[in-house]
Structure 1
């Protein structure tokens, strides 16, 4: 495993590289630290080179508090690719990271060999599921111990606001339909987020496959790790033949 800090505009990115083979960037959800993706990395690093990173203002990455939106975040990902010297790579994102991966594939198509969405949101403003989420979150928070640390939501807010502007683009769905990349959309059957938006995006992309893992939850690897590997690893191996 190799750890490296990369200087980018308004901050420094902590990155982690492990394994050998076709390069893969893992993009975390949140926005937040990438540590929770170790299970996915361990699942695939025997067949590929895995690169993970903490976004600016999260985990071990620094951020000066200025100018951070969707475009800047995507530029950070591109800077990581350039720093590691890869002409292109496989983009795998989980949750919010899957949404970023889709936007990155649109903005930097020549940098992407293939794209994988794991428990992504898709392009939609449907928030009916949030009532249930927030209600359950209140109950769970009551069980947590008290912490002195209070999260700073500057990074989260600025990114989410710019994402909402992005999905309002009138021709966005047309742009997505023109993505010329092998794509894989993995949905968890018991994810609280709706599946229709993920299926919609998958159906728009010509060379795409949609798979729903039965009994899986948002963090698929926690209860369906084997099934996730059976879907993910063949796709990565296929991308390795194109690399």
Structure 2
């Protein structure tokens, strides 16, 4: 069931709700920034356990194109508009990649609205400079396993669909199925909001890794499940900072999975997350 959520500044967001499970309601936050919801498979895995809400973030995917603002504070407010629209007094939050950062930011800002947080394939709370160099090396090495693929990726402009599929194909440990998995992420294709992507990534570089952020995470009195794919090309050591800070954190590492662990280990992913629900 798809619906339109209207934010407090009048922007219309695409949203969908499915499932009637008896667990606490679950809201999903997709990655990016600048992309659209790609968590339908996650919703299918969990909708027998909980009502699951998905949404496209501001200016992205099926949501209304707008001029921003592209800030975490604004996106946290949008997520709260989604919560209110569906009548959720409290909810579990699951965020993937950039969406894990957004879900964590929401939990820090509005902990009274969150029952539990599932932090999937994030990059922790240390400065971006601590992990981005090794990630870039891993990225080029993985893409360069097929030299023609790397050369083609370099030829194409930012925001191009073919370029995105090439880039996403290295996010899976399953080399044989990687192109098919990446193609599914791009079908349908809504176009990448590159302005949103740049602005929010720039904000993260400025704001992440501060003493205030560490202190806020140390004070977060919520159950938090961290889920990693061991073969993610982002150094998993980056997430150690968050794991150390959380007073009620638990971590599950899925050994044969990459950046989208529910694709390559759906059973392990479901078992981990249903414990929270």
Cα deviation digits, residues 80-129 of structure 1 (max 9, x gap): 11111111100101111111111111011111000011111111322121
Aligned to 2:274: 233
Aligned in 2, Cα 1:18/1:153: closer, same or farther, shift over 3 Å?
Answer: same
**What is the deviation of 1:195?**
1.5
Contact 2:68 2:196 in 1 (8 A): no
Correspondence for 1:201 among 232, 238, 242: 242
Show the 5 A alignment for 1:108-127.
108-124=110-126, 125=128, 126-127=131-132
Correspondence for 2:44 among 42, 45, 60: 42
Aligned in 2, Cα 1:18/1:140: closer, same or farther, shift over 3 Å?
Answer: farther
Aligned to 2:11: 11
In 2: Cα distance, 1:161 partner to 1:145 partner: 25
Moved more, 48-57 or 213-222: 213-222
In 2: Cα distance, 1:109 partner to 1:84 partner: 18
Moved more, 154-163 or 47-56: 154-163
Cα deviation digits, residues 123-181 of structure 1 (max 9, x gap): 1322121133146457357278599x974411111222222333143321011000000
In 1: Cα distance, 2:163 partner to 2:87 partner: 44
**What is the deviation of 1:194?**
1.3
Question: Is there any run of 5+ residues in structure 2 with no aligned partner, and where?
Answer: 154-160, 165-189
In 1: Cα distance, 2:201 partner to 2:162 partner: 28
RMSD: 2.2
Runs of 4+ deviating beyond 3 Å: 134-138, 143-147, 149-152
How many positions carry a matched residue from both structures? Answer: 233
Aligned in 2, Cα 1:66/1:93: closer, same or farther, shift over 3 Å?
Answer: closer
Contact 2:229 2:261 in 1 (8 A): yes
Contact 1:94 1:120 in 2 (8 A): yes
Contact 1:117 1:185 in 2 (8 A): yes
Q: TM-score, normalised by structure 1?
A: 0.88
Aligned to 2:167: none
2:36 counterpart of 1:33: yes
Aligned in 2, Cα 1:197/1:85: closer, same or farther, shift over 3 Å?
Answer: same
- Greater percentage in strand: 1
Contact 1:189 1:214 in 2 (8 A): yes
Aligned to 2:169: none
Correspondence for 1:142 among 132, 142, 152: 152
What SS does structure 1 have at the residue aligned with 2:226? strand
Contact 1:17 1:51 in 2 (8 A): yes
Correspondence for 2:199 among 158, 173, 181: 158
Cα deviation digits, residues 9-61 of structure 1 (max 9, x gap): 26210000011232101000012111x21111100000101000001121100
2:134 counterpart of 1:131: no
Aligned in 2, Cα 1:222/1:150: closer, same or farther, shift over 3 Å?
Answer: closer
In 1: Cα distance, 2:94 partner to 2:110 partner: 14
Question: Is there any run of 5+ residues in structure 1 with no aligned partner, and where?
Answer: 237-243
Q: TM-score, normalised by structure 2?
A: 0.78
Aligned in 2, Cα 1:25/1:141: closer, same or farther, shift over 3 Å?
Answer: farther
Moved more, 199-208 or 49-58: 199-208
In 2: Cα distance, 1:85 partner to 1:165 partner: 34
